[in-house]
Structure 1
Amino acid sequence: MDISHDDRTVMTLDAGGTNFVFSAIQYGEQVVKDIVLPSNALNLELCLKTLIKGFEQVKAALPNEPAAISFAFPGPSDYKSGVIGDLANLPAFRGGVALGPMLEDHFKIPAFISNDGDLFAYGEAMAGFLPYINEQLCNEGISKKYQNLLGITLGTGFGGGIVVNNQLCEGDNSAAGEIWAMRNFKNTRLTAEEGVSIRAVQRVYSEKTGIEELHTPKDIYDIATGKTEGDQEAALFAFDEMAIAIAESLANAITLIDGVIVIGGGISGAYSLIADKILQHMNGTIENVSGDQMPRLASKVYDVEQPDLLKKFLRDNVKEVEVPFSGRKVTYMADKRIPIGKSRLGTSKAIALGAYAIALQKLSDKTSVNL
């Protein structure tokens, strides 16, 4: 699916606890300037009316009729039915709110609601990191093409999304890609998210320094990189601890998915501090009961943000063989390899394009079924 050549328009929303940001996308590009309205998170009726008002303003600004509404909304939710559950940052949503059906009844068009981690992954698969990797391979004359992607977001929480054979894996219970709930590698009584989040970096730095005042992750990053004064050793340790928690979660997940890995979210700005430790762990070893060591993964992981590793990913151990009985030659990768890197779109844009792409796919699926 090439979203840049589709003329259908989809209205979108960036739903935050403080503000709702409404817009619309056509041909894979934003076509309406952001419309920002307060979320009114404490008053359900006012919040729902705000959602209708925002989409009404977007619709009024469009030159043509929208085909659908599609956006990410916090969970827990039954995304397939469009029913929102009990939300932490939008407390008015308690006991189940049929948000999707409400919007469909009002606007008389399909409304698709998804998890932000899912849409981030789908956006990167359709228009970001996945096509970037395949383009690099094609430019080198390598016929291999990746179709699977694991996307993670690092920020307030630890989000994830899975794309298999270019299809978003939503799960039977709208609960696929919930990487946050994996067991924490360093403290097995905790979730992975307790080691991979803003609060995790803050907590570890505070514990290491004995300073009760919480620094922002940006402050800790600046201390770690020597831009500002502070306990640099403790700051580096905080990011190392997070990197190990990320790496073990990725190792467990990618063992089942076998595809490219893309990292987004606010803390991905510290990618340079965590990438080497992630690679070291994922390319490390594991043992059997006899103590025999073996590679942690069946595939080797390459950080394509590092030019030398990108070059090795593209060319190292690429072989040419003759096709029997023809004399024709083909190239192939003689080993298994997984590229890992940063979002090519930026997290917000990836989520928006993911919402656009999933709406186009579902609209097409509905048309096919009706035919």
Structure 2
Amino acid sequence: MDLQRDPRIVLTLDAGGTNFVFSAMQGGREIIEPIQRPSFAEALPACLASIVEGFEAVKARLEAPPVAISFAFPGPADYPNGVIGDLNNLPAFRGGVPLGPMLQAHFGVPAFINNDGNLFAYGEALAGLLPEVNAKLAAAGLSKRFKNLFGVTLGTGFGGGLVVDGRLFLGDNAAGAEIWCMRNKLDPGCPAEEGVSIRAVRSAYAEAAGLPLEAAPDPKTIFHIAEGLAEGHRAAAREAFWRLGEVAGDTLANISAVVDSLVVVGGGLSGAASFILPPLVQEMNGTLRAKAGGTFPRLEVQAFNLEDPEHLARFVKGQEVQLPVPGTDRTATYDALKRIGVGVTRLGTSRATSVGAYAFALQALDR
């Protein structure tokens, strides 16, 4: 998709528990100053009115009419049908509210809703990490190209999204890529999100530093402590991010055994990637034990940290050779290094999500 040259306008929304932020995109970029409205999280009539008023305010600023509405909204939800379910941070929607059909009826254009993990992955697949990696491979003269991307967001929760050959994968119940509920390696009775989130970093820091949880600073401060730029328990700070990377890596190893794709990391905690990615990739490249004795690699592919210059050089180089085809004078290309890469968002989480929402709407309209 040539997003940068597409003249169509799509209305967007960044939905939070306190505020809604409305905007519009054209040509893959935001074209107005965002408009903010309160969410009225516990009062459904006021909440819905705020959403309509926000989109109306955006529409009034446009020079041409929009062709669709497309945005991320928290789940659980029936995204294909636009029905929002029981939300923790927006309790007004409990019992189910057909938000998409309501907006379509009011504005007279299709309304598409997804979760932020899906749209983040889609944005990075179309205009972020995926095309950047393929460009590096092309520049190196290799024939190998990647078509699939798994995106994870590390923040308040542990979100995920999967893009397969240019198409966003949703699943039969709009519940695909919900990696937050996979088993936590360090605490198997809990979901992975309890080890991969803001609260997990604070909890791990408090435990390692011998502090009560309420005394633990925010993750940004813990990151500065880990860097030696702020006062605190430096070893505990590094341990907190190492644990997060280990749990995330274990989850992504399970995912990668199925989807065999590049991985892009976003969300507020991705700023600490220098402390998270090494244990994450190390875990993905771990080993399993055979009952008969000995060990073998956990994955059939090798994972590389694309933020590490040495890893990146080996990843791009590969092991491509030309093999003679028996009985002919031809050759066949063979790359013996089966590999995937793990990198940090190239667009920024918010922009990638907006690009994903824009592209999803246009692709749906084109179909």
Q: Is this a same-fold pair by TM over 0.5? A: yes
Once residues 31 and 320 of structure 1 are traced to their aligned partners in structure 2, the CA distance between those partners, rounded to angstroms, is 49
Once residues 126 and 294 of structure 2 are traced to their aligned partners in structure 1, the CA distance between those partners, rounded to angstroms, is 41
Runs of 4+ in 1 over 6 A off after TM superposition: 323-326
How far residue 127 of structure 1 moved from its aligned partner, in angstroms, is 0.8
Once residues 338 and 188 of structure 2 are traced to their aligned partners in structure 1, the CA distance between those partners, rounded to angstroms, is 30
1:142·1:331 contact (CA, 8 Å) conserved in 2? Answer: no
- Which of 224, 227, 231 aligns to 2:226? It is 224
Match of 2:244 in 1: 242
Residues 155-210 of structure 1, C-alpha deviations (whole Å, 9 max, x = no match): 00000001111110001101001000100001100000000000001011112222
The alpha-carbon distance between structure 1 residues 325 and 286, as it changes in their structure 2 partners (threshold 3 A), is: same
1:71·1:355 contact (CA, 8 Å) conserved in 2? Answer: yes
How far residue 307 of structure 1 moved from its aligned partner, in angstroms, is 1.5
2:19·2:37 contact (CA, 8 Å) conserved in 1? Answer: yes
Once residues 304 and 151 of structure 2 are traced to their aligned partners in structure 1, the CA distance between those partners, rounded to angstroms, is 16
- Which of 342, 345, 348 aligns to 1:346? It is 348
How far residue 58 of structure 1 moved from its aligned partner, in angstroms, is 1.1
Once residues 358 and 15 of structure 1 are traced to their aligned partners in structure 2, the CA distance between those partners, rounded to angstroms, is 17
Look up the SS of the partner of 2:288 in the other structure: strand
How far residue 331 of structure 1 moved from its aligned partner, in angstroms, is 4.8
User: Is 1:82 equivalent to 2:106 in the alignment?
Assistant: no
Counterpart code for 1:211: L
Name whichever of 105-114 and 59-68 sits farther off.
59-68
Matches within 5 A, 1:108-123: 108-123=108-123
Match of 1:209 in 2: 209
Look up the SS of the partner of 2:144 in the other structure: coil
Once residues 26 and 333 of structure 1 are traced to their aligned partners in structure 2, the CA distance between those partners, rounded to angstroms, is 40
- Which of 336, 339, 360 aligns to 1:337? It is 339
Once residues 27 and 331 of structure 1 are traced to their aligned partners in structure 2, the CA distance between those partners, rounded to angstroms, is 38
The alpha-carbon distance between structure 1 residues 9 and 324, as it changes in their structure 2 partners (threshold 3 A), is: farther
- Which of 322, 329, 332 aligns to 1:320? It is 322
How far residue 325 of structure 1 moved from its aligned partner, in angstroms, is 7.7
Residues 244-276 of structure 1, C-alpha deviations (whole Å, 9 max, x = no match): 100000000011000100000000000000111
How far residue 91 of structure 1 moved from its aligned partner, in angstroms, is 1.7
The alpha-carbon distance between structure 1 residues 146 and 57, as it changes in their structure 2 partners (threshold 3 A), is: same
Match of 1:369 in 2: none
Match of 2:169 in 1: 169
Unaligned stretches of 5+ residues in structure 2: none
Residues 207-233 of structure 1, C-alpha deviations (whole Å, 9 max, x = no match): 222222131001111111111121111
Once residues 216 and 64 of structure 2 are traced to their aligned partners in structure 1, the CA distance between those partners, rounded to angstroms, is 49
Unaligned stretches of 5+ residues in structure 1: 366-371
Counterpart code for 1:139: A
Match of 1:134 in 2: 134
How far residue 318 of structure 1 moved from its aligned partner, in angstroms, is 2.3
Matches within 5 A, 1:1-371: 1-212=1-212, 213-321=215-323, 331-365=333-367
Once residues 349 and 265 of structure 1 are traced to their aligned partners in structure 2, the CA distance between those partners, rounded to angstroms, is 11
Residues 35-78 of structure 1, C-alpha deviations (whole Å, 9 max, x = no match): 11111212211110111111111111111111100000001111
Look up the SS of the partner of 2:89 in the other structure: coil
Once residues 141 and 226 of structure 1 are traced to their aligned partners in structure 2, the CA distance between those partners, rounded to angstroms, is 41
2:318·2:337 contact (CA, 8 Å) conserved in 1? Answer: no
Counterpart code for 1:249: T
Counterpart code for 2:313: K
2:318·2:336 contact (CA, 8 Å) conserved in 1? Answer: no
How far residue 302 of structure 1 moved from its aligned partner, in angstroms, is 1.0
The alpha-carbon distance between structure 1 residues 292 and 227, as it changes in their structure 2 partners (threshold 3 A), is: same
Once residues 291 and 71 of structure 1 are traced to their aligned partners in structure 2, the CA distance between those partners, rounded to angstroms, is 51
Scaled by the length of structure 2, the TM-score of the pair is 0.96
Number of residues paired by the alignment?
365
Residues 92-118 of structure 1, C-alpha deviations (whole Å, 9 max, x = no match): 111111100110010010000001100
Name whichever of 34-43 and 153-162 sits farther off.
34-43
What RMSD in Å do the two structures reach over aligned CA positions? 1.4
Name whichever of 347-356 and 301-310 sits farther off.
301-310
Once residues 293 and 237 of structure 2 are traced to their aligned partners in structure 1, the CA distance between those partners, rounded to angstroms, is 34
